Structure 1
Amino acid sequence: MMIKGSPELKLDGDKVFCTACAKMIACDKKFQVDQHLRTASHNAKVHKLKSGPVQQSVRMSFDNASDKTKSEKDVFNQELCRAFVAANIPLKKLQNQQLREFLQKHCNQNISDESTLRKKSLQVLYENVIQEIRTTIYKNNYYVIVDESTDACGRYIVHLIIGTLKEDGPGKPHLIASKELQKTNNVTVTRFIQQALSKFFLPNQVPAEKFLVFLSDSAAYMVKVGQNLKIFYSNMVHVTCLLHGINRVAEAIRMEYPLVNKLISSVKKVFLKVPLRVQLYKEKFPGVSLPPEPVITRWGTWIKAAIFYADHFDLIKELILEIQDNSQCVIDSQKLLNITAVAKDLVFIKTNFGFIPDIILSLENRYLSLRDSVNLVNTFSDKCKKVPGAIDFCGLVWMSERLAFSIYVITFKRFNYMCNK
């Protein structure tokens, strides 16, 4: 360590080493160091060394070499950690002996333990990546996507995704914040967005004028969140997701056919956690997959299940009627399969609403162009209008989401205007 005011003096442990004189200074008090600095011999050697190299002590040489090795080790650990994270490989895989030996052999580096990478390298890597994202976002207009979901423990988790808006389309989205909320309403979500953006861009550096699009679902509290954010971001336009509107149509269809919904639920329970029935099904119908298990939060899965039952209604009916069991699910399934209206409803759903899962899947494509999105939405609207019979529920739900689609188009035009401004 260099002593302030005397660069030729170095602290070597608990001793003082003079690089000019190349010797240790025997000193217990400061005046002894000052006395050495005033000697003619020392001053002459200092003058001579101004144009030449400075001699280092043995310990200093080892410390410099150690610092260099440590720096190389840190770089290797960060790059190794980045590669594993980018490839979605858990760091605990480094505990595998064959993998460690392979990396040590071909990388000529000692592989650190997973805990070391997680404690030291992962945080540095995270900060570097956040800085890269921040630099990219700060130079461009940007959009924000916020959505709330429930985890396996029933906790409310809200996520914030941010991405750039350019003339050639939206950029890659980045998840920059996740937080558990005690309750979900417009106040808590608005506060979360403000805090997340302030932390991401650093306080007092949020480019409010470049925040152009806020995308969310069409929940009532999210609409209020958009109104709250409009106060702080005057150029922002709130757009509700079109897929939520289409999913509401699918939910209306499910509610319109309660017997079909009950059949799907009952047959699902028949084969759930009963290996003997599953084995009987596979033996009787080889090559035919088990009845699907729709999940309400997975859009379009209920209609897919209805299509499956329409295609294999006779097979499923034959098998269920053969089961001799007093289970409530079996009894309910047998009753429903004997109702003629259920078979007719399944055929009707398949014929008139079978296109909805494909539309949802197509609109989920991240890189879908605006023109293709508009065409898909118009196709959906046209097919819904052609459904025979009482279709008021489709028309009403669709018209309720028509405003969101109009805002989507207006947003695109406004974005072009802002880019060319």
Structure 2
Amino acid sequence: MPKVKSKTSKKVIGLVKEYESDILSTDNTVLFCKACGKTINHEKKYFVYQYMQMIKHKSATEKMKTESKQACLLSTFVADSSSKSQFPIELCMAFIDVGIPLWILENKSLRGGFLEKYTKQHIPSESSLRKNYIDNNFNNVMDRIGREVAYNKIWISIDETIDPVGRFVANVVIGTLEADQPSKEYLLTSEGLKKSNSSTIAQLFTSSLACCIVARRHKI
């Protein structure tokens, strides 16, 4: 049979509901004032009413409510600050992803006349984005690639070429080998080499894997 609540339990729960539940609490036996940090005599309802009218209790209650509001405002401020700090990170990433040079942001019409006007956000300068956000975005992408390929079999391709001015360039591509879906492919890096031989390619291979923390997981 289901347990029946005791008279004491029903009584204190009723008192918590009758008065402010954010001020009073109970463990079904004791009536506790969170504002004062004290237990309240609840043998008679009048004792509780008398306690709630005390100047000291009212002062503690106001203080608790004020601190609660301040904590709420602080939480909102932190969340808003976090959102604002995320904006330049995503702005930088978006420009890089679609191949738009960051110096385009120095254009006054684009910067102040459009972006700042409609996003209501401060648009960092090109130098600020390069100094403060590119490395962060790079690390985030490398971490994401590392997570994507960490527990799959992988393939790696290094393509060597010579650019129009005669410089040696190597592109490192990594991909997953999965039986039930197409391979996921990622460009890890494009590096300029002083010369192209087995030694420089081996060094590039090792450093590229280390960038996305794949070497340790695949025991390469």
The interval holding the TM-score normalised by the smaller chain is: 0.5 to 0.7
The aligned residue for residue 402 of structure 1 is none
The aligned residue for residue 26 of structure 2 is none
The aligned residue for residue 163 of structure 1 is 175
Amino acid at match of 1:97: K
Structure 1 residues 166 and 70: alpha-carbon distance in aligned structure 2, compared to 1, 3 A threshold: same
The aligned residue for residue 194 of structure 1 is 206
The alignment yields a C-alpha RMSD, in angstroms, of 3.4
**Structure 1 CA distance, aligned partners of 2:211 and 2:115?**
37
User: CA shift at 1:143, angstroms?
Assistant: 0.8
Amino acid at match of 1:74: S
**Structure 2 CA distance, aligned partners of 1:170 and 1:113?**
40
Matched, 1:207 2:183: no
**Structure 1 CA distance, aligned partners of 2:153 and 2:166?**
35
2:102 corresponds to which of 80, 86, 91: 91
88-97 or 136-145, which deviates more: 88-97
The aligned residue for residue 149 of structure 1 is 161
Aligned residues: 159
Structure 1 residues 90 and 169: alpha-carbon distance in aligned structure 2, compared to 1, 3 A threshold: same
Matched, 1:78 2:97: no
User: CA shift at 1:193, angstroms?
Assistant: 0.9
Structure 1 residues 68 and 154: alpha-carbon distance in aligned structure 2, compared to 1, 3 A threshold: same
The aligned residue for residue 110 of structure 1 is 122
User: CA shift at 1:89, angstroms?
Assistant: 1.2
**C-alpha deviations, 1:15-54, integer Å up to 9, x for none?**
xxxxxxxxxxxxxxxxxxxxxxxxxxxxxxxxx79x9468
The aligned residue for residue 182 of structure 1 is 194
Structure 1 residues 187 and 104: alpha-carbon distance in aligned structure 2, compared to 1, 3 A threshold: closer
The aligned residue for residue 134 of structure 1 is 146
Larger CA Rg, structure 1 vs 2: 1
SS in 1 for 2:94: helix
More helix by share: 1
SS in 2 for 1:205: helix
Structure 1 residues 123 and 63: alpha-carbon distance in aligned structure 2, compared to 1, 3 A threshold: farther
Amino acid at match of 2:145: I
**Structure 1 CA distance, aligned partners of 2:101 and 2:180?**
35
**Structure 1 CA distance, aligned partners of 2:66 and 2:218?**
50
Amino acid at match of 1:93: I
Contact 2:169 2:193 in 1 (8 A): yes
Structure 1 residues 70 and 183: alpha-carbon distance in aligned structure 2, compared to 1, 3 A threshold: same
Structure 1 residues 87 and 199: alpha-carbon distance in aligned structure 2, compared to 1, 3 A threshold: closer
**Structure 1 CA distance, aligned partners of 2:203 and 2:98?**
34
Contact 2:170 2:191 in 1 (8 A): yes
Contact 1:143 1:164 in 2 (8 A): yes
Structure 1 residues 87 and 196: alpha-carbon distance in aligned structure 2, compared to 1, 3 A threshold: closer
Unaligned runs of 5+ in 2: 1-59
Contact 2:142 2:211 in 1 (8 A): no
TM-score normalized with structure 1 length: 0.33
Contact 2:156 2:174 in 1 (8 A): yes
**Structure 2 CA distance, aligned partners of 1:145 and 1:52?**
63
SS in 2 for 1:201: coil
Unaligned runs of 5+ in 1: 1-47, 209-231, 233-421
Contact 1:198 1:206 in 2 (8 A): no
Amino acid at match of 1:205: R
**Structure 1 CA distance, aligned partners of 2:107 and 2:145?**
33
**Structure 2 CA distance, aligned partners of 1:86 and 1:195?**
23
Contact 1:147 1:159 in 2 (8 A): yes
SS in 2 for 1:175: strand
Structure 1 residues 136 and 64: alpha-carbon distance in aligned structure 2, compared to 1, 3 A threshold: closer
Contact 1:163 1:170 in 2 (8 A): no
Amino acid at match of 2:204: F
Amino acid at match of 2:144: E
**Structure 2 CA distance, aligned partners of 1:66 and 1:126?**
28
**Structure 2 CA distance, aligned partners of 1:181 and 1:94?**
31
Task: Spell out the pairing of 1:280-359 with structure 2 (5 A cutoff).
Answer: none
**Structure 1 CA distance, aligned partners of 2:96 and 2:203?**
30
